[in-house]
Chain A
Amino acid sequence: MSPAKVADNLCYHCLLAIPQHCDYQVTIEGIDRAMCCPGCAAVAETILSSGLDNYYKHRDIDNQTANSLSRDNKPLIPEELSLFNSEKVQQAFVTISQDGTKEATLVIEGITCAACIWLLEHHLLKLTGVIHFNVNMTNHRAQLRWNENQIPLSKILAAISEIGYLGHPYRPDLEEQLLAKEHKKAMRRLGIAGVGMMQVLTLAVALYFGASSGMEDQTRTWLRWISLIVCTPIIFYAAVPFFVAAIRDIKTRHLSMDVPVSIAICGAYVASTWATIFQNGEIYFDSVSMFTFFLLFGRYLEMQARHRTGRAGNALQNLLPQAATKLTTDEDGIITESLIPAADLAVADIILVKPGQAVPADGVITQGHSSIDESALTGEYLPKRRNLNDNVIGGTLNVENPIQIRVTEIGAQTQLSAIVRLLERASEEKPSVAKIADKVANYFVSFVLAAAVIVSLSWLYVDPEQAFWITLSVLVVTCPCALSLATPTALTTATGTLRQQGLLITRGHVLESLAVATDFVFDKTGTLTQGNLSIEQVRTSFTRQRALTIAAALEEHSEHPIAKAFKPYLSAQNTLQTKDITVTLGQGIEGCFEGVIYRLGKADYAEQLLTQPYPTQSIDISMPKEAGHWLLLCDEHQVIAWFLIADTLREDSLFCINALKQKNITVHMLTGDSSSNVAEIAQYLGIENVCQSASPEDKVKYIQALQQDTNKKVVMVGDGINDLPVLAGAQTSIAMGSASDLAKTHADAVLTNGELCVIIQGLALAKKTKTIIKQNIGWAICYNFTALPLAAFGLIAPYAAAIGMSLSSLIVVTNALRLAKQKPLVSYQPKNKAATPSATPDNSYLHDSA
Chain B
Amino acid sequence: MEILPYLLGLSVLFFFGAIAFFFWNVNNGQYDDLESPAHKILFDDDDDMIPDDAKLVKKIVPNNQKDEPSS
Contact = CB atoms under 8 A, between A and B. Distances in A.
A188 B15 contact: no
B22 A188 contact: yes
B65 to A, nearest CB: 15
Contacts of B44: 1, 54
Contact of B22 (A138, A195, A219, A222): A195
Given A54-B45, A58-B43, A138-B35, A219 B18 contact: no
Contacts of A1: 42-44
Interface string A104-118: 000000000111011
B71 A219 contact: no
Interface of chain B: mostly helix, strand, loop or mixed: helix
Contact of B18 (A113, A138, A195): A195
A96 B9 CA distance: 48
Task: Count chain A CB atoms within 10 A of each CB in B4, B32, B38 and give the residue with the most.
Answer: B32
B36 A196 contact: no
Contact of A137 (B9, B36, B42): B36
Contacts of A196: 15
Interface in A123-147: 135-139
Interface string A178-195: 000000100110011001
B62 interface: no
Contacts of B12: 226, 229-230
Nearest to A118: B43
A239 to B, nearest CB: 15
Given A117-B36, A226-B8, A187 B42 contact: no
A68 interface: no
B67 interface: no
B43 A115 contact: yes
A52 B69 CA distance: 11
A51 interface: yes
B53 interface: no
B40 A199 contact: no
A559 interface: no
Contact of B40 (A52, A53, A114, A192): A114
Interface in B1-24: 4-5, 8-9, 11-12, 15, 18-19, 22-23
A233 interface: yes
Given A230-B12, A230-B15, A138 B33 contact: yes
Given A188-B22, A226-B8, A136 B33 contact: yes
A99 to B, nearest CB: 22
B26 A51 contact: no
Given A1-B43, A54-B44, A195 B15 contact: yes
A121 B6 CA distance: 51
Contacts of A184: 26-27
A191 B9 CA distance: 21
Pick from B4, B11, B26, B36 the residue with the most CB of A within 10 Å.
B36
B39 interface: yes
Contact of B36 (A135, A223, A233): A135
Contact of A188 (B26, B34, B69): B26
Interface in A205-240: 219, 222-223, 226, 229-230, 233
Nearest to B35: A137
B54 to A, nearest CB: 18
B33 A199 contact: no
Contacts of A54: 43-45, 71
A199 B15 contact: yes
A199 B11 contact: yes
A187 B29 CA distance: 11
Contacts of B9: 226
A58 B45 CA distance: 11
A372 B58 CA distance: 59
A219 B4 contact: yes
Main secondary structure of the interface of A (DSSP, over half): helix
A223 B8 contact: yes
B31 to A, nearest CB: 6
Nearest to A137: B36
Nearest to B32: A136
Contacts of B34: 138
A138 B9 CA distance: 40
A511 B69 CA distance: 53
B7 to A, nearest CB: 11
B25 to A, nearest CB: 8
A521 B5 CA distance: 66
A73 to B, nearest CB: 23
Contacts of B23: 188, 191
A114 B5 contact: no
A223 B1 CA distance: 14
A188 B19 CA distance: 9
A195 B43 contact: no
A184 B32 CA distance: 9
Nearest to B8: A226
Nearest to A185: B26
Contacts of B69: 51
A187 B19 contact: no
Interface string B45-71: 100000000000000000000000101
B15 A187 contact: no
Nearest to A218: B5
Nearest to A229: B12
B5 to A, nearest CB: 6
A222 B43 contact: no
Contacts of A117: 36, 39-40
Contacts of A114: 35-36, 38-40, 43
B3 to A, nearest CB: 12
Interface string A45-67: 00000011110001000000000
A191 B43 contact: no
B19 A51 contact: no
Nearest to A51: B71
Residue picked from A1, A117, A229, most chain B C-beta under 10 Å: A117
B71 A187 contact: no
A510 B21 CA distance: 37
Contact of A118 (B27, B35, B40): B40
A222 B5 CA distance: 7
Interface in A241-276: none
B26 to A, nearest CB: 5
Contacts of B4: 219
B24 to A, nearest CB: 10
Nearest to B14: A199
A199 to B, nearest CB: 5
Contacts of A233: 19
A280 to B, nearest CB: 22
A54 B9 CA distance: 53
A52 B36 contact: no
Contacts of A139: 32-33
A596 B12 CA distance: 90
B49 to A, nearest CB: 15
Contacts of A51: 69, 71
A449 to B, nearest CB: 35
Contact of B26 (A135, A187, A229): A187
A191 B30 CA distance: 13
A233 B36 CA distance: 33
A136 B36 contact: yes
A187 B31 contact: yes
B33 A137 contact: yes
Nearest to A60: B39
A295 B23 CA distance: 20
Given A1-B44, A53-B71, A191-B22, 14 more contacts: A58-B42, A113-B39, A114-B36, A117-B40, A118-B40, A136-B36, A137-B36, A184-B26, A188-B23, A192-B22, A195-B18, A195-B22, A222-B8, A226-B9
* Interchain residue pairs A-B with the least CB separation, the first 9: A114-B39, A137-B36, A136-B33, A191-B22, A137-B35, A51-B71, A138-B33, A117-B36, A187-B26
18 contacts: A51-B71, A113-B39, A114-B35, A114-B40, A115-B43, A117-B39, A118-B39, A138-B34, A138-B35, A187-B26, A191-B26, A192-B19, A196-B15, A219-B4, A222-B5, A222-B8, A229-B12, A233-B19
